[in-house]
Amino acid sequence: MGQVFANKDELAKAAAQAMWDADPATQKLGMTLDEVREGYSRMSMVIREEMSNGHGTCHGGYIFTFADSCFAFACNSHNINTVAQQCSITYVAPGRLGETLTAECVERTLVGRSGVYDVTVRNQQGQIIAEFRGNSRNIKGELVPGARVEEA
């Protein structure tokens, strides 16, 4: 029998911690997990010099990776191992060296094993940098094995 949590948001936090602890890519890129609850996550990341491209702006691959990490924490918040099935991104403004980006992911729908999530990436002035949509697919296993929410 696994851990018992008071509510779904507490379980989401425990799942996020387990995932964070096993995610060196996200950590080494300097991302922080600022908030997580069921079907939602918010992260931040400072654009560093090594993230810039030949135009002097943030390379789109780093912005995609940032949005994808935020998506991952939101879609795994149900404590079911979940992977990306398909993702797309639209870049609307450049990210600039030294800016702090914030990504916010919201679950739009979760039916059976498939989900749809939207991530908005903004700079510290609130300007939208990119819009990301991720489709998820649940696979076998849990991040916190045997965990459950206390029944009322």
Dump pLDDT digits (tens) for 79-133.
999 999 999 999 999 999 999 999 999 999 999 999 999 999 999 999 999 999 9
Residue 2 has pLDDT above 90, yes or no: no
Residue 142 has pLDDT above 90, yes or no: yes
- How remote is the C-alpha of 61 from its chain's centroid? 15
Quote the pLDDT of residue 107. 98
Residue 152 has pLDDT above 90, yes or no: no
Quote the pLDDT of residue 151. 77
How far is Cα 64 from Cα 80, in angstroms, rounded to an integer? 23
The residue type of 42 is R
The torsion region of residue 24 among left (phi > 0), alpha (psi -120 to 50) and beta comes to alpha
CATH class of the domain whose range is 4-144 = alpha beta
Domain ranges of the chain: 4-144
